[in-house]
Copies of this chain bind each other. A is one copy, B any other.
Amino acid sequence: MSSTTAKPYHHGNLRAEIVQRAVEVIDSEGIEALTLRGVARDLGVSHGAPNRHFRNKQALLSEIAAEGWTEVKRATLHAAIESGSDDPRIRLNAMGRGYMRWALNHRPLFRTLFHPDVMRFATSELRSVMSDFADSVQEAVAATQVAGRHPDVPLPLLTLYTNSVPTGAALLLVDPILEGEMRADGVDQETLIEQVINLVVPLPAS
């Protein structure tokens, strides 16, 4: 084949590029604008090509979401470590802030993680990644309970409550309309996160 201009029949690593381009589209225009044919067009490939790599659109979405949840887990874990503390409350507090920070810095992607079209046909791989993350949170919550945080509340309920705050707050803030209803705009993002998380996971009085 000619070296420079001629496009090779086989793409090379189309699968990875599809995922990458799809994430780009989601990031810039939201999941609603994501189209298999559009991605194929952008990559200069025929409209049927993506089907060779993903059984259907949901499979692609599941893969992206799985990557997203993995990143989320990594971000929270990183935050817990960076807190440099052994106190479960300090660690969980840091995790919550890491979670919200990631969400607010990756808004379209974060919304994708909770998008009905993604959840409805979640791959078993995606389910497993989510389960993994849920486990790590549950564990961290349990540790705070041992340290005296709401000792009388059943663990699953305390976990639900603990999850609700960063998740709910992030979802409310990530949507342009809902964000407008919450009059929390004037505040700088990091202080907002800090104050909200401090309400769910108060730091121990030092």
> Which of A166, A182, A187 has most chain B Cβ within 10 Å?
A182
Chain B residues with CB under 8 A of A131: 181
Contacting pair A116 B156 (CB below 8 A): no
Contacts A31-B116, A116-B115, A131-B181 hold; do A164 and B168 have CB atoms under 8 A apart? Answer: yes
Chain A window 102-122, contacts with chain B (Cβ cutoff 8 Å), 1 for yes, 0 for no: 000000000100111101101
Q: What per-residue 1/0 map shows which CB atoms of A164-201 lie under 8 Å from chain B?
A: 11111101110111100111101100001001100110
Chain copies in complex: 2
A145 sits at the interface (CB 8 A): no
Count of residues in A whose CB is under 8 Å from the partner chain: 50
Chain A residues with a Cβ under 8 A of chain B: 30-32, 111, 114-117, 119-120, 122, 127, 130-131, 134, 138, 150, 153-154, 156-161, 163-169, 171-173, 175-178, 181-184, 186-187, 192, 195-196, 199-200
